[in-house]
Amino acid sequence: MKLLDAISLGVAVAFAAPAALLGVETLLAGDRTGWVFLGFAAGILAFERYVVTPDDLPAMLAQKTVGAVVEDPDESRSDDDSSTQ
């Protein structure tokens, strides 16, 4: 997981957690409308994961640029190992 993805997920969880907690408390109190709050919390997390917004485009571009410029250390090790054998 990339750093920007982790930060974005953390923000989404920070917004979804209170709604989920309210849903659980409402369900435990015997009110079935708690499912609405749990659905809302799930919707926040699903939206963050699956929907690309215009604000996400610069982050996606930055991740692709860094991936093209900087080699993954695991890939460079496997290339070195195969050339020495």
Q: Would the CA dihedral through 10, 15, 21, 24 be positive or negative?
A: negative
Q: What is the mean pLDDT of residues 4-30?
A: 92
Residue 69 has pLDDT above 90, yes or no: no
Q: Does 85 fall in a domain?
A: no
**Total number of domains in the chain:** 1
Q: Does 82 fall in a domain?
A: no
Q: Does 9 fall in a domain?
A: yes
| Cα–Cα distance for residue pair 25/67, rounded to 1 Å | 44
Residue span of the structural domain in which 37 resides:
3-70
Q: Does 76 fall in a domain?
A: no
pLDDT tens-place string over residues 21-42: 999 999 999 999 999 999 999 9
Q: Does 7 fall in a domain?
A: yes
Q: Does 75 fall in a domain?
A: no
| Cα–Cα distance for residue pair 2/65, rounded to 1 Å | 13
Kindly report which listed range (15-19, 42-46, 75-79) carries the lowest average pLDDT score: 75-79
Residue 85 has pLDDT above 80, yes or no: no
pLDDT tens-place string over residues 43-67: 999 988 888 777 777 777 877 787 6
> Helix or strand or coil: residue 54?
coil
Q: Does 63 fall in a domain?
A: yes
Q: Does 79 fall in a domain?
A: no
